[in-house]
Structure 1
Amino acid sequence: MTLKDLGFNKSAQKLISLEREGMKVGRVIVEHKERYLIQTPENIYQAEITGKLRYSAESRADLPAVGDWVTFSVFDDNAAIIIEVMPRYSTLERQAVNKFGEKQIIATNVDIAFIMQAVDHDFNLNRLERYIAICKSSYIRPVIILSKTDLIGQEKVTAIIESIHKRISNVSVYPISNETYTGYEELKETITAGNTYCILGSSGVGKSSLANNLLNVPKLKVNAISNSTSKGKHTTTHRELMILPEGGVLIDTPGMRELGIAGDSDSIDRTFDQISILARNCKFKDCTHTEEPDCAVLEALESGGLDQSTYENYHKLKREQAHFSSTVAERRAKDKKLGKLYKRIKEEKDKRR
């Protein structure tokens, strides 16, 4: 095994120096409650973080995550302490569940995200656009995978693909079946050594089956869809990085039913490129595309050149992103105020001594 097998590609090389005197360099392949597995070309180590790294972290995002390159020291045959998290060239993240204003890291140093939806019950264009906005906020290339195509006819599969291309441009779509392996040859041709891939999607869409089939081993547990609710059962309970036999690295993630936007506003504009192109012809540069005169977006909406659902989802994500950003700003201001208060209290205590 080499560093390239672990995903050390050109993007990583630009940011990461492997010259760490007395330290080993490896990649986090499993994370579970601040305990980690680190892989190097020679070995796998069980690791924890130093107290200094834990207490200097301003948020959870500063701690190691699956996909990170880290430096570490070994104190036993396969036990280690993580010293430093190296710079990330991409961070796939979402708004933390039930913690508005906080981000949750899904995976790091990802090149391509496989966004997976099942054609039988899970397919949703609005949700696809949400996933793509999250990917584009970190400049990760999205690829759409439609699973369970064996459950519907080819005519319906073609209609779904056409509906995607009508609303989402410049994103590849691969229809597959985890049962018949239809579409796998085309998908595998896109996987190259050195790249890191991440599977995103709701529970029950076939993410674990996809990973198993790409790995050529029954590594991940697979459960069936609930017949009563048509919702997926959680099978992957943690994030894990795996090396593919054809080259490339794959990160499987737990199913996500909540997917809050945590990126910047530009990532939404890059997702809805049809609206972005139309906006160039708006009368006002800061047009919100809601009520302004001579708005090219509203004109296209009225004439039927822009889909109503696309327009509504665009504004929904914009509002969500704006609210998230304001909440982050409020939290930072509050933390800064508390920091000044603690500093003043400490200074007063020091004077009394």
Structure 2
Amino acid sequence: MSVEFDVAVIGLGAMGSSAAAFAASRGAKVIGLEAYFPAHPLSSSHGDSRLIRLGYFEDPSYVPLLQRAYENWRALEAQLRTDILTVTGVLQIGAPDSKIVSGTRASCEMHGLAHQILDKQEMARRFPAFALDDGEIGLLDPQGGYVRPEAAIMGYLKLAAEHGAALHFGEPVLSIDQGGNGVTIVSGTATYRARKVIVATGAWIAELVPQLRSRAVPIRQVVAWYQPSDGFVAGPQRMPCFLRDDGEGGSYFGFPNIGIDGVKVGRHAHFREPIDPRAPNPPVNEADTALLDSFVRKRLPHAASMRARATTCRYTMLPSEDFLIDHVPGAPDVVVSSACSGHGFKFTSVIGELLADLALEGGSTLPHGLFSFARHFPNG
């Protein structure tokens, strides 16, 4: 069977849609295969908003990629003539030595990023939505904000199609096999040949990349929206997006009142409950809502009151919680993207570029050493 495509992209969520657009824009013949439909509710790429921030507490080495991501988001907005990235600032809140606050500060100082340190009194004056304990501080990343995931995905799919990519929805891939000159992709309806394949299937990644079985673990995530008790303090002009380090209570994230449902809140990784990616997301239960209701009563007393709704989605967690973006060991024509461990969407605009580089050029000048198989799994 002859090679039909330069690149096949399996999974057209955040990373796959971006990769398809970047590869097609370079003149490659691209096919994209998606089991469901764009931004479907079993994905990790829906729900109105995703945080973006420059001062990255997880590891300062992410910052150059973020700087490129900002450039690419703005380029996407210009191409689409629509808004995708909104800057509100992002507040990191907690004890000065907490992981989120201290890590963000170290990242900002290392890369010379603008930031402000605010004590409890200054926080109350400038950002009255937030309740701080004695000794806690806020660190403001003024360039942070949020990205609209559905608009981003649909935008990249639009560009991919305009550059000639064949995009197939409702067509799950059953297997991939590298052999000879290229890769054979078998879907539920057809068989294709491509020189390179990018696997970006999120919670289903281990079904096509067996090296990730028991390593890339899908878990259940819950977020809830609350009607603001004070619409003035909950608006984006007075309430930036935020991360809060609650110590042993975990870390929380949230957004101001930017939509009809109100203030959005979640705890990172929630209860870390593994799920079967082939099954529907488990419903929201009383333990879920009790956790989030308790948080907003204590930490956002002036910004969030009645819960409007709550929903489940899914994270796919790797042991280190870093991304995995690399050629599959022993299969150099297969590139895997298991970005995200719950913090990847903001990088969509640069990971797509990186994946296109790896598939078309075999490497990239974008920094990605942190994301290799060898680093994640040094013992194979």
The question of a shared fold, defined as TM-score above 0.5 by the shorter chain, is answered with no
Using the size of structure 2 for normalisation, the TM-score is: 0.26
Higher strand fraction: Structure 1 or Structure 2?
Answer: 2
Q: Which has the larger radius of gyration?
A: 1
Greater RCO, CA 8 A, separation 6+: 2
